[in-house]
Amino acid sequence: MDFEDTPELAEFRAEAAAFLAAHAEPRRGDDRDWSRNAASTDPEVAEDFRRRCVEWQGLLYEHGWAGLTWPREFGGRGLTPAHQIVFNQEMARFDVASGFITAAQALVGPTIMQHGTDEQRARYLPPLLSGQEAWCQLFSEPGAGSDLASLATRAVRDGDEWVIDGQKVWTSSAQHADFGILIARSDPDAPKHKGITYFIVDMAAEGVEVRPLVQAQGVAHFNEVFLSGVRVPQANVVGEVGEGWRVARTTMRSESQMISGASQSTGFDAVIATARRTGATRDPILRQELARVYTNEAVLRWMGWRTQTAVMTGRYELALHGSLLKNFFTRALSHRVELALDMEGAEGTLGSDAEGDGFWQYQCLNQFASRIGGGTEEVHRNNLGEQVLGLPREPDDTRELPWKETRRS
Ligand SMILES: Cc1cc2nc3c(=O)[nH]c(=O)nc-3n(C[C@H](O)[C@H](O)[C@H](O)COP(=O)(O)OP(=O)(O)OC[C@H]3O[C@@H](n4cnc5c(N)ncnc54)[C@H](O)[C@@H]3O)c2cc1C
């Protein structure tokens, strides 16, 4: 691997570092950093985090540092992925975050760029990039998660509009969203992957009802969304009618890439600090596990470097399969948070009374967000079996049947 910047990238790095130094505080790596409050259970802290994310994204946009790889006509800079890597490396040294806006951009941006009309791109992409409009993803349903293509929310054409009825679930940030990307069944006579259409829904439209779902940690990160006779103009269809599955695959690919690239606040340093505090560094068994945390972190770093090399050199054959990255990342995460709780012993059973306001207790409950969201570990293993190992496809005798004849949960 060769990580030397080209002269052009070195110049860009210096420019990025100067911008960041002028507009942000260096990251201190402890609880003085606002950027680590992404998952706070305190409503005031959570709201403050949201506000700061919007402000930071607006500042990036205003100074031409948002969407570096996005085309210029949508407010980006039209630069290469290598520029984005360099900028992210520099930004990691500062106490800044774009939080939920990064997720919305990763899901909605590539989908509208690739499949949207010119009008949709012009209308929705710039405010998405500047963080002025927030989005949510209306895909999962009570009876359609891993087998998303069996979804039952109906879309019926009525002149120049579609009428949507159904229920979505696990919709992250729907309570803050201006728009949602939604997939619905527009042709129940077609096989399940064929009769789906992809829409942009105004979350303020009549008939959209958002009900928060409170998680084990006590926060309501996601919601149920009920859609009752919601009218969506034909102009809000993304891609062709009935081709929504193809469009949704673009969204889902970007989603698992985003999750495997996500940074976490629970690296080796945090685990070793707990080990020292609890005396676990003297326990031979726990020392083995600490070595595993260290090794996993090194492997993840090397995987990141390999991806970086693939991007920087244009040798995309070196890039790792997204499912491999996601599963390695989430398994390493769950190993280290569970180890930290083991090391705390009886203290580990406390809630927010435990050290650091229940930091590990929260992280332990929160691990499932990464392990389930963006496709479960089992589903990503299926992908690896089929797409990397060449194993036969998982049997599915409903694939070619008209959707209305399939059995659903
Ligand atoms: C933090 C978080 C945020 C989310 N945000 C959103 C969002 O914003 N919008 C949205 O639409 N959805 C969202 N989701 C939903 C997420 O996409 C689904 O939870 C996920 O796809 C799994 O679906 P499910 O929960 O219905 O589980 P199911 O599909 O019912 O799976 C149940 C269990 O069966 C296993 N399983 C299922 N099928 C197979 C198979 N073929 N082979 C082997 N095992 C299998 C699964 O691995 C799992 O263990 C979010 C989820 C989380 C955790």
Based on the fold, state whether residues 298 and 362 are members of the same structural domain: yes
d(C-alpha 264, C-alpha 325), whole Å = 14
Mean pLDDT of 124-132: 95
Ligand 1 site, residue 172, Cβ cutoff 6 A = yes
**Backbone dihedral region for residue 96 (phi beyond 0: left; psi -120 to 50: alpha; all else: beta):** beta
Averaged pLDDT score across all residues of the chain = 91
Same domain assignment for residues 56 and 92: yes
**Number of other CB atoms surrounding residue 118 within 10 Å:** 8
Q: Is residue 118 part of a domain?
A: no
CATH of the domain at 208: 2.40.110.10
The pTM is what?
Answer: 0.90
Q: Which of 36-45, 219-228, 307-316, 343-352 has the lowest mean pLDDT?
A: 307-316
User: Which are the contacts of 207, defined by CB distance < 8 A and separation ≥ 6?
Assistant: 164, 227, 228, 229, 230, 231
Is residue 109 included in any domain, yes or no?
no
Using a pLDDT cut of 90, give the percent of the chain over it. 66
Q: Is there a domain that residue 163 lies in? A: yes
Handedness of CA 386, 392, 397, 399 (dihedral sign): positive
- Residue 228 and residue 318 in one domain: no
173 lines ligand 1 (CB under 6 A): no
- 């194993």: which residue's tokens? 391
Residue 303 lies inside a defined structural domain of this protein: yes
Max distance between CA atoms of the chain, in angstroms, equals: 72
Q: How many helices (H) and strands (E) does the chain have?
A: 11, 8
For the Cβ of 375 lying below 6 angstroms from any atom of ligand 1, the answer is: yes
Mark whether 180 and 81 lie in a shared domain: no
* Cβ of 177 below 6 Å from ligand 1: no
Are 113 and 125 contacting, i.e. CB atoms less than 8 angstroms apart? yes
Domain that holds residue 271: 264-375
What's the rounded Cα separation, in Å, for the pair 158 and 139?
22
341 falls within a domain: yes
Q: Of 98, 125, 146, which residue sits at a domain end?
A: 98
Find out whether 91 and 146 touch, Cβ atoms under 8 Å.
no
User: From the CB of 379, is ligand 1 less than 6 Å away?
Assistant: yes
| Same domain (yes/no): 240, 271 | no
Pocket test for ligand 1, best of 140, 192, 201, 323 (most atoms within 8 A of CB): 140
Would residue 255 show up in a list of annotated catalytic residues for this protein?
yes
Based on the fold, state whether residues 290 and 337 are members of the same structural domain.
yes
Mean pLDDT (whole number) for 64-80: 90
On whether both 223 and 289 belong to a single domain, the answer is no
Same structural domain, 361 and 295: yes
Which atom belonging to ligand 1 lies closest to the Cα atom of 374? 17
Structure tokens at 93: 């040294």
Within a domain: 395: no
Q: Which residue has the tokens 């939080």?
A: 99
Per the structure, the count of domains in the chain is 3
Residue 394 lies in a domain: no
CA 358 to chain centre: 24
Q: Do residue 239 and residue 272 come from a single domain?
A: no
Contact (Cβ atoms closer than 8 angstroms) between residue 233 and residue 161? yes
Q: Residue 11 maps to which CATH number? A: 1.10.540
Query: Closest ligand 1 atom to the C-alpha of 136?
Result: 8
Residue 236, phi then psi, degrees to nearest 5: -95, 10
Q: Which of 90, 133, 243, 255 is catalytic?
A: 255
Q: Does residue 3 register a pLDDT over 80?
A: no
Residues 211 and 279 in one domain: no
Mutate to test the pocket of ligand 1, among 168, 366, 376 (most ligand atoms within 8 A of CB): 376
Per-residue pLDDT tens digits for 187-225? 999 999 999 999 999 999 999 999 999 888 777 888 999
Question: Considering the domain boundaries, does residue 392 fall inside one?
Answer: no
> Which atom of ligand 1 lies closest to the CA of 168?
11
More confident site: 241 or 259? 241
Q: What is the pLDDT of residue 74?
A: 86
Q: Are residues 233 and 275 in the same domain?
A: no
Q: Give the span between the Cα atoms of 77 and 163, in whole angstroms.
A: 38
| Cα–Cα distance measured from residue 351 to residue 24, given in angstroms and rounded to the nearest whole number | 33
CB of residue 88 inside a 6 A radius of ligand 1: no
Whether residues 234 and 275 fall in one domain: no
Nearest in space to 105 (alpha carbons), one of 126, 85, 86, 84: 126
- Catalogue the E-assigned strands of 113-252: 135-138, 154-158, 161-172, 179-185, 196-202, 208-213, 222-233, 237-238
pLDDT at 358: 85
The closest residue, in CA terms, to atom 31 on ligand 1 is 146
CA distance 401 to 52: 49
